[in-house]
Amino acid sequence: MSIPHQHRLSSNFSKNMTKTLSGLTTLGIFLVNTLGFIDTDTGSALGCGRQWPLCNNHFIPSTWDIHTMIEYGHRGFVALVTLLLLIFVTLAWINYGRWIEVRALGLIAVSFVFLEALLGALGVVFGDPPAELATHFGVSLIAFSAVLLLHLVIRQIDRLPYAKDQTVPAPLRPFSIPRSFMRITFFTLAYLYIAMYIGAYVANSRSADAFRGLLLPQERMTANNHVFWIDSVHRSIGVGLLLLVIYLLAKAYSLRQHRNDLWHITLGIVSCTVLQILAGILLIASQLAIYAQLLHTAIVTVLFAALCYLALQTLPEPSARTRQLPQTYLPEH
């Protein structure tokens, strides 16, 4: 039975709107996280006092200064992006909900954006200890990565050939990845997340203010607050991450014949890791200048999202979809 022309036009419009909102929402979440960092770093988190959702006893402040403008602007932008996200995820479920990746990523994105907003509100009302700020940063990265992955998965779905059986979604990953590669990918992802949490904790505890030395730590071993040892551990974690992603690159090289996309993604991950280390050196050289902090944060955001996407690509297809196309299984290495 042919699909009515009007219905096809409506469906195409809805899908085009979904793809447009996916790009806007991804950019919006990235800007929300960036504004949140500026908000904290400039000491503007209390620009509205210890009140939420009120700002200095009003919904719209009667007096303004630069800190109030930054904090109130951040809150307003969060509300706008959250609304965009809800519309985007709803449309994604309507148009692409047959794919379990779309449903799962949509739930993760909405859950973590609301959790991020809740942590921000609690931080304003009760204060922001370093552990809470580090947790907030980790949650914000998961929220951004989920939205970005949802955007990428929708683009991938639109490039799929039409399946013969339209009731079952076509496979997104027609080649099965060796479990060894999947394990090292998820281990690297977990390692990076822990490394980011430690880095955010160090930054928000102000220990990094005392870091010295571009390549090797040059603080006195007897310095107060164990700065030398904190700096040494922080840098060692960075070196460990670099070794892990290089090993991941070597594993991806053996898969490039069937999954050249994994090779390119892993190349990007290694490049981001090197840039992250260089940005860390710039941080120390600039004595924690805000531009260096923003660069450091932006690179690690892209790095984490890229590793999340790589991890998604290593997952096996659901059994119902594996029957749609012939499977090619890659040997273990």
Letter for the amino acid at 212?
Answer: R
Residue 48 CA to residue 71 CA, distance in Å, equals 7
Residue 43 CA to residue 46 CA, distance in Å, equals 7
Other Cβ atoms closer than 10 A to 327:
14
Locate tokens 């949802």: which residue? Answer: 150
Q: Quick one: DSSP state of residue 44?
A: -
- 71 catalytic? Reply is yes
Question: Could you give phi then psi for residue 51, rounded to 5 degrees?
Answer: -135, 140
Let me know if 32 is exposed, middle or buried by CB neighbors in 10 A (0-12, 13-18, 19+). Answer: buried
Q: Are 317 and 177 in contact (CB under 8 A)?
A: no
Residue 21 CA to residue 127 CA, distance in Å, equals 34
Which of 71, 101, 116, 317 is catalytic? The answer is 71
**Can you list the alpha helix ranges (DSSP code H) found in 159-209?**
179-204
Residue positions counted in the chain: 333
Q: What is the gyration radius of the CA atoms in the chain, in angstroms?
A: 22
Task: Catalogue the active-site residues.
Answer: 71
